[in-house]
Structure 1
Amino acid sequence: MAEPSTAVLDQPERRPDHSGTTAPTPVHRRKGGILTGLLRTARPRQWIKNVLVAAAPAAAGELASWHTAAQLALVFALFTAAASSVYLINDARDAEADRAHPVKCRRPVAAGEVPVTAAYATGALLTLGTVGAAVTLCDALTAALLSAYIAMQLAYCVRLKHVLVVDLAVVTTGFLMRAMVGGVALSIPLSRWFLITAGFGALFMVAAKRYSEAVRMADAGGATRALLTAYTTGYLRFVWQLAAGAAVLGYCLWALESGDAAAANGSLLPWRQLSMIAFTLGVLRYAVFADRGAAGAPEEVVLRDRPLAVIGLMWLAMYGMAVAGV
């Protein structure tokens, strides 16, 4: 599950109560009604991750049609609704634990801006509506994949996030499902290299996120996420380094294999091979934040780091040239 920004925030002040002990000062509540709080609980900043639904069509060069755009927009909206429903239910379940967290205590449910029952009810309605819309508007395989995503994420909220290693696998699979669903919806075959690169790339970001959480919460004794005490920072570092290497290797093998066909078609430059440079640089740049323990919120790293954004644009340009056969 995605977390808020890794920026260091002040802990809630503590003040003496009438018994002579200290009690936490109530978290400041933002202005706005329950609807505003529900929207914030749905994590609008996290919605950028659902752009991954375009990954498979983009890899296959199948983005240049209105039908494709309309289908991807529908899948994006459904995945966004599905993820938002899970966030709502997760925050309702974790409200008490989140109040002990220096950052999560500011979430609307934990801060008391949104009643727990309202979060549960909204999440349940959104879940049912998403599944119903998928069954009605999409083909059977796409609806099944979306339903499986929701079921897996709800199982994660209830139990699986407390199971060592399985929690990493579930979150990674959620990212991989996002990357797969666009291809499934448009009946685009998914290559083995695409699945390898997407899968290990997702594991890299997930393990880096957990590593950052473990570093940041080292002094909290696991009070905010008990499973972090079961991992060592050395193990999590090993996982994200292994995944980063596998993702780069998978991408390079794909680019070299696909580049031979592109050269035979008369491309001016080997754009796919050249894109390996930008892809590798992007992974290395993100690894800087992972190594510092500052990759706890992947969307913040991607959106706020300008060099990483420039590298990403370079990669998009090279990949676009490769798809266009220039």
Structure 2
Amino acid sequence: MIHYIRLIRPLQWLKNVFVFAPIFFSTNLLKPEFFWPTLMVFASFCLISSSIYCFNDLKDVEADRQHPKKCHRPIASGKVSVMGGYVMMLLCTIGALAILPLAESPNTPYLYAIIIGYWLMNIGYCLKLKQFAILDVSIIAIGFVMRVLAGGIATDIYISHWLVMMTFLVTLFLAFTKRNDDYRIYEQTGTKPRVSITGYNKTFINEATAIIASVTLVCYIMYTMSPEVIHRLGTRYVYLTSGWVLAGLLRYLQNMIVFGLSGSPTKSLVKDHFVQFCILGWIASFFVIIYL
């Protein structure tokens, strides 16, 4: 059973907290009528993303067996059979679709469209699209934007262009830092962790992440000082949270360029205490400013 749990990668479910962004930034986080449908969408995304992880491991089983880290994945290591992988994929997909009506949202048909669209996009990613540099990281970022849109649609909350832009930029930044780790493995072993890695090199990745980090910070500061946001949130002090964003971005760049620790962003979130401190500080300060 433990190997099937590893197959669906529950640690990666942390990525789906992006669905809570609309109710958090709209000051509706503590209202049950908003929290419950968002929670159901979160659960649906957890299952549909696990379905994709199963398919990805099935598709890449031979390549994973040549990878220094991925060779320990359940299917690549033989702990879970190919048939078992397909069964788990099917169960996760059915579960993701079955949960959506529990959100009791008037926009449930649109939620189905997003979840199915997300599934199809990622199936395409696993089959072919991940082989193209830049397109691969862009698809990852679009997937996070879809999470945010689903959270807004479930609760009928307006999604501002600021939230869409920030989500895309931050997740594109994280995707590029992950490519740095892939390229380092390619340099050290000569083994391609992914086909698209030949479209990257260290200089390009470092410059791209630095540019995206700069644009992200500027975009965030513009967001906090936007008259629209100040009016909607009822406070002009949101800009005070910018320091946490800067510190977090710099830490990620330090991990990537100085320490070479740019692997899974989720694992960095779990293990890096400085990143955890920045995120908790940002959430706490934002919560105090807009809720208290």
Which residue in the other structure is 2:252 paired with?
286
Change (3 A) 1:276 1:259: farther
TM-score (norm 2): 0.92
Unaligned segments of structure 1, at least 5 residues: 1-34
Unaligned segments of structure 2, at least 5 residues: none
Change (3 A) 1:223 1:202: closer
Instruction: Please say if residues 100 and 223 of structure 1, whose CA atoms lie closer than 8 Å, have aligned partners that are also in contact.
Output: no
CA deviation after TM superposition for structure 1 residue 230, in Å: 2.6
CA deviation after TM superposition for structure 1 residue 314, in Å: 1.6
* Distance in 2 of aligned mates of 1:288 and 1:126: 37
* Distance in 1 of aligned mates of 2:172 and 2:127: 21
Aligned partner letter, 2:157: I
* Distance in 2 of aligned mates of 1:258 and 1:309: 30
Aligned residues: CA RMSD = 2.1
TM-score (norm 1): 0.83
CA deviation after TM superposition for structure 1 residue 172, in Å: 1.2
Counterpart check, 1:159 vs 2:128: yes
Which residue in the other structure is 1:91 paired with?
57
Q: Number of matched residues?
A: 288
Higher helix share: 2
SS at match of 1:206: helix
Aligned partner letter, 1:192: H
After superposition, the C-alpha distances for 1:180-200 in whole angstroms (9 at most, x for unaligned) are 221121111111111111110
SS at match of 2:256: helix
* Matching residue within 172, 190, 196 for 1:203: 172
Listed as ranges, the matches of 1:152-231 within 5 Å are 152-231=121-200
* Distance in 2 of aligned mates of 1:319 and 1:174: 25
Instruction: Please say if residues 162 and 223 of structure 2, whose CA atoms lie closer than 8 Å, have aligned partners that are also in contact.
Output: yes
Which residue in the other structure is 1:12 paired with?
none
Change (3 A) 1:272 1:259: farther
Counterpart check, 1:252 vs 2:218: no
* Distance in 2 of aligned mates of 1:313 and 1:128: 34
* Distance in 2 of aligned mates of 1:170 and 1:262: 33
Aligned partner letter, 2:115: L
CA deviation after TM superposition for structure 1 residue 322, in Å: 2.2
CA deviation after TM superposition for structure 1 residue 134, in Å: 3.0
Change (3 A) 1:182 1:283: same
CA deviation after TM superposition for structure 1 residue 136, in Å: 7.4
Which residue in the other structure is 2:90 paired with?
124
Identity among equivalent pairs (%): 27
Moved over 6 A (4+): none
Once the two structures are overlaid, the 10-residue window that deviates more, 197-206 or 312-321, is 312-321
CA deviation after TM superposition for structure 1 residue 259, in Å: 8.8
CA deviation after TM superposition for structure 1 residue 151, in Å: 0.7
